[in-house]
Structure formats: C-alpha cells, structure tokens
Amino acid sequence: MRRIAVVLLSGGLDSTTVAAYAREQGYELMALTFNYGQKHVREIECARTVARLLGIRHEVVEISFLKQLAWYSALTRPESFEVPRHKDSQEITVDIPITYVPLRNTLFISLGAAFLESQALYAIETQHADPDQVEASLFIAVNAVDYSGYPDCRPRYFEQMSRTLLEGSKLGTTYRRPIVIQTPIMRKSKAEIVKIALELKAPIEHTWSCYEGEKVPCGECDSCLLRAKGFAEAGISDPLLARLKKDGKTSPGK
C-alpha cells in the first residue's frame, strides 16, 4: 500500500501535533505552508523549523494574493481591523471573530489536495502503482472544541469538502480513490492536544500560536488564551515560554 499524505503546517501547536501524528503513522509525508499575506511571518519561520526537526519534506507556497481578496479580516488587513483581546478564555464569544479569513480553509484544502493528487496520480500513472493500493490523505489541524468559532472548522464542513474532492478530482472520478481529509484533533480539547503532542515528542517549543508576530506571544488574543488554557488544563508548562525565557526574552505572563 502506497500511503501518500500532505499535512497543512501553519507552525502552530495544533498543526505541529498533527504533523507529528501523521509521521508516526508511517505516511509518505509532505508538509505545505501558505504565505497568504497574513499579519506576520513568524509562524512560517516556525513551520520551517518544525518540518526540519520532524524530518518532513516542506514547501512554502506564496499565495499572498489572498490578502487582496479575503481582505475583511484582522489577519490580512491589520491596518484596518484590530485583533480582539481578552483577559481570559471565558471572554471568547460564540460569534465569528474578525480574525476569520474568508474561505481560507476552502482555498488551503483545494491547494493541498491539488498537491496531494499530483503525487497520487504520479504514483499510479508513471510509477504504475495499483490504484487500489494507493491511499491519499490530506491532514489538517482543525478543531471544533477549543476554538474561535470559525465556520470552516466544523465537522459538517469537512464532510461536504470530502464529497467535493471525490467528485472534482481525477483520482476520485477515474480511479474511485478518495482524497481523504483527516482531522485527527477535530474533537479533542486543547489539553488533550497538548498531551498528544508530548506523547509524540512534537517540537512544540518551536511553535507559534499568537496572532501577533512580536518576540513573545501577546497573551491576550483568542489563540494565545486557548493555548494557555490547554496547557493549564493539562497541568503542563508551555515549553515555548520556557524556551523564550531561556533565550533571555520576557514572557507576557499568559
């Protein structure tokens, strides 16, 4: 069986955990990171480090045009919209925040699936692999438990996207092989994700979750608060903050 996989790697805690999980499962694994004109590139630098430490082939893809199209977001137009800040995670509302980037996951999945399908079709049509012995999986680190309420992080969304990829791909229509979207932490709490990361020895001390790109996490955005909540509930100190302290940088205390 040829088990070919692509993981969408943002450089954050969740995607690093999923990348380590996919590697542990023995896939022929490649990682994709998108430079989509986001507020900062700190996370891209982290993704490079994570991929290197995990020993995964890594591609950074330039799609900064998304900033021009999906402009109604604090992550693509920070000069117009402020990232919401809170005192603690209890203040995070169920409303979709301004940090949502319009249809970002839809584009990311399509691009990741295109890369994945190319690898699978090459295996079948050039390397003469038996189609029935080719498995193509797209790993994405979405979560529907401790998250900011983005609509493209819900189970129903991924069910629909899976059908679309089956009907819209040569792999699906000609060879009847699905592009499987794997969401291994979809129903995990942030505390559970932290524990999984540690079990897998994922290099989470090199991850970045903050919506800001400063020397230290802001400690007040949704992403920082959810990360802090996860480590607190797991009863574990965040190794990123420990590394920053060791490097002589000051933690914001979150």
Q: What are 146-181's pLDDT values in tens digits? A: 776 889 999 999 999 999 999 999 999 999 999 999
Q: Checking DSSP bridges between strand 179-182 and strand 2-8, what pairing results, if any?
A: unpaired
In a domain, 254, yes or no: no
Percent of the chain with pLDDT over 90: 83
Q: What is the pLDDT of residue 84?
A: 86
| Averaged pLDDT for residues 84-112 | 84
In a domain, 98, yes or no: yes
The reported pTM is 0.93
> Which structure tokens are listed for 158?
């991924």
In a domain, 241, yes or no: yes
Give dist(CA 251, CA 214) in Å, integer: 11
In a domain, 251, yes or no: no
Task: Check pLDDT > 50 for residue 253.
Answer: no
Q: Each residue of 47-68: pLDDT tens digit?
A: 999 999 999 999 999 999 999 9
In a domain, 25, yes or no: yes
Task: Check pLDDT > 60 for residue 254.
Answer: no
In a domain, 65, yes or no: yes
Range of the structural domain that residue 150 is part of: 2-246
Closest alpha carbon to 38 in 59, 14, 19, 11: 11
Q: Which runs of E-coded beta strand occur in the chain?
A: 2-8, 28-35, 57-62, 134-139, 179-182
Give dist(CA 252, CA 227) in Å, integer: 14
Q: For the chain, what's the residue count?
A: 254
Q: What is the edge-to-edge ordering of all strands in the sheet holding 134-139?
A: 57-62, 28-35, 2-8, 134-139, 179-182
Q: What is the pLDDT of residue 20?
A: 98
In this structure, are residues 21 and 184 in contact, taking their beta carbons and an 8 Å threshold? Answer: yes
Give dist(CA 126, CA 128) in Å, integer: 5
- Structurally, the chain folds into a number of domains equal to 1
Q: What is the pLDDT of residue 146?
A: 72
Give dist(CA 77, CA 58) in Å, integer: 27
In a domain, 252, yes or no: no
Residue 47: CATH number of its domain: 3.40.50.620
In this structure, are residues 4 and 136 in contact, taking their beta carbons and an 8 Å threshold? Answer: yes
Q: How confident is the model at residue 144 (pLDDT cuts 50, 70, 90)?
A: confident
Q: What is the pLDDT of residue 40?
A: 85
Mean pLDDT of the residues in the chain: 93
In a domain, 206, yes or no: yes
